[in-house]
Amino acid sequence: MHYSSLFLSGFLWAGMSYAACDETAGRQFFSHEKKIQVLENKLSQAKLDLNCHISILLTLSELYRANNTLGSARERVELAVKLARQPQATAHLLSEALTQAGNTRLYTGNYAKALVLYSEALTQTQEATDTVKILINIAQLWTDAFLKELSPSKQQSLCASCTKQDIYHHALTALQQALKTSQSSVNQQPENLLHLAQIAYQLNQTQSAIELLKKIIAAKENTIYSSHAYALLGQIYFDSKHYQEAVQLLNQAVFYAQQAQAVELLFHWQHRLGKVYKVQNEPSKAITAYQNAIDFLKKIRPQLLTVNDYTETKKSLHEKEDVQVYLEFIALLLDEAKAKSDTVLQQDYLHKALTILEGFKTIELQTYYRDDCIAGIATNNTDSEACNGE
């Protein structure tokens, strides 16, 4: 198993827009499309204060990115950077715009340009909290470059004459710099610690990751971050084959996710529990966990079809976790059917596997078309009124 950053916006910091400029701020029931419509109308209807104009452009860029429209996201952030270079704009907004432009380039795999933008953002920021977040983004960039198989041209543009080991050294150096900067109390926010732990884990700096995660757990400041911390600790113990401890930690992750009513996290953690139970040869517990994972997945499918997490966009269909959970569950059920001598039990497991397979076919179509209704029509399983927006 490999730990992913899940739904925390790819763990890339993009700053905060001015809420006073954003009429959609705090309106959690607005869809991305509705927020985009409101903000685009505001840009076109009035002459705005320069800093408000920049802030709205940055919010729009992030909304377009989350809505899987990277072309529009890049257009808005590049205009924001251009405006933020004017003398009347604040240095903070220029730093924020450059950081978000770097994120957009990283989403599209342009590591060299992202690094240039992050580096310039560092020269503009005047806030210690912003500095550490940008350093974390730089560490993530080098880590991603190390973990992924970059084309020779991309690798050379990022780091001329660099070997894979050189890129790892850059990633480790960037992590150490971010860790050092984060040591002051003002930079000990749980999101910083969690992102640093994630990077440390990816770079096999396990002890550093454990220490950071224990800080988050001890602070008890936020149930979401506590849930993530327990889950990553569980992953570390799973990797070292301490399966009982992994189960205990993942159950703690589930507990905090339930406290936060974070259905998306419950899907991921139940999936991981299923994997651990399978390795422990506890099929009944594994089946329960996999079924729980699929039940939670069904609740979050619509948002997964619109989320454009940069860690997921390059994955093939069968590498995506929402597909893997079905394939693994089907394989588990078929294995159990083969292991049973009782014909009735065999048929029960086979019937369950066929039921899960039908659900998997729908998932494949939804993922391909990125639309619930098209998939439903193809499988003769759709609510026509819901699809017509009635």
The DSSP secondary structure of 226-281, one letter per residue, reads HHHHHHHHHHHHHHTT-HHHHHHHHHHHHHHHHHTT-HHHHHHHHHHHHHHHHHTT
Question: Can you give the pLDDT at residue 220?
Answer: 86
Residue 260 lies in a domain: no
Lowest model confidence (mean pLDDT) among 26-40, 147-161, 162-176: 26-40
Per residue in 224-250, pLDDT tens? 999 999 999 999 999 999 999 999 999
Same domain, 139 and 175: yes
Same domain, 141 and 193: yes
pLDDT at residue 41 greater than cutoff 50? yes
The more confidently predicted of residues 50 and 9 is 50
Residue 21 lies in a domain: yes
Same domain, 171 and 196: yes
- The pLDDT confidence band at residue 14, using thresholds 50, 70 and 90, is low
Same domain, 40 and 91: yes
Question: Can you give the pLDDT at residue 382?
Answer: 47
In Å, how far are 21, 109, 164, 333 from 151, measured between CA atoms?
41, 10, 12, 40
pLDDT at residue 187 greater than cutoff 60? no
Average pLDDT of 237-266? 97
**Phi then psi for 208, rounded to 5 degrees?**
-60, -40
Average pLDDT of 355-379? 63
- The angle formed by the CA atoms of residues 98, 104 and 109, to the nearest 5 degrees, is 125
Average pLDDT of 82-93? 94
Average pLDDT of 212-228? 93
pLDDT at residue 148 greater than cutoff 50? yes
Q: Is residue 210 within 8 Å of residue 200, measured between CB atoms?
A: no
Question: Can you give the pLDDT at residue 300?
Answer: 85
- The angle formed by the CA atoms of residues 264, 269 and 270, to the nearest 5 degrees, is 100
Same domain, 34 and 69: yes
Burial (Cβ within 10 Å: 0-12, 13-18, ≥19) of residue 266: buried
Residue 34 lies in a domain: yes
Residue 387 lies in a domain: no
Residue 212 lies in a domain: yes
Average pLDDT of 17-29? 54
Question: Can you give the pLDDT at residue 183?
Answer: 83
Per residue in 319-356, pLDDT tens? 678 889 999 999 999 999 999 889 999 999 999 999 99
Residue 344 lies in a domain: no
- The pLDDT confidence band at residue 84, using thresholds 50, 70 and 90, is very high
pLDDT at residue 259 greater than cutoff 90? yes
Domain boundary among 114, 137, 153: 114
Question: Can you give the pLDDT at residue 45?
Answer: 75
Per residue in 71-80, pLDDT tens? 999 999 999 9
pLDDT at residue 174 greater than cutoff 60? yes
Domain boundary among 221, 239, 269: 221
Mean pLDDT (the chain, rounded): 84
Same domain, 133 and 101: no
Same domain, 108 and 132: no
Closest by CA to 1, choosing from 292, 328, 223, 224, is 328
Same domain, 107 and 66: yes
Single-letter amino acid code for the residue at 41 = N
Same domain, 36 and 103: yes
Element (H, E) at 81: helix 70-84
- The pLDDT confidence band at residue 31, using thresholds 50, 70 and 90, is confident
From the centroid of its chain, how far is CA 15?
A: 16
CA dihedral sign of residues 43, 77, 119, 171: positive
pLDDT at residue 6 greater than cutoff 60? no
What does pTM read for this prediction? Answer: 0.83
Per residue in 305-320, pLDDT tens? 555 554 454 554 456 7
Give the chain's domain count.
2
- The pLDDT confidence band at residue 368, using thresholds 50, 70 and 90, is low
pLDDT at residue 190 greater than cutoff 60? yes
pLDDT at residue 27 greater than cutoff 60? no
Q: Which CATH number covers residue 13?
A: 1.25.40
Q: Is residue 155 within 8 Å of residue 174, measured between CB atoms?
A: no
Same domain, 21 and 103: yes
The more confidently predicted of residues 371 and 339 is 339
Write out the residue range of the structural domain in which residue 75 sits: 1-114
Question: Can you give the pLDDT at residue 363?
Answer: 66
Same domain, 150 and 96: no
Domain boundary among 192, 221, 250: 221
The more confidently predicted of residues 46 and 368 is 46
Residue 177 lies in a domain: yes
Closest by CA to 253, choosing from 150, 240, 104, 238, is 238
Same domain, 2 and 86: yes
- The pLDDT confidence band at residue 32, using thresholds 50, 70 and 90, is confident
CA dihedral sign of residues 138, 224, 325, 376: negative
DSSP of 280-347: TT-HHHHHHHHHHHHHHHHHHHHHHTT---TTTTTS-GGGSHHHHHHHHHHHHHHHHHHH---HHHHH
Average pLDDT of 92-107? 94
Most confident option among 123-137, 258-272, 304-318: 258-272
Residue 258 lies in a domain: no
Name the DSSP letter for residue 155. H
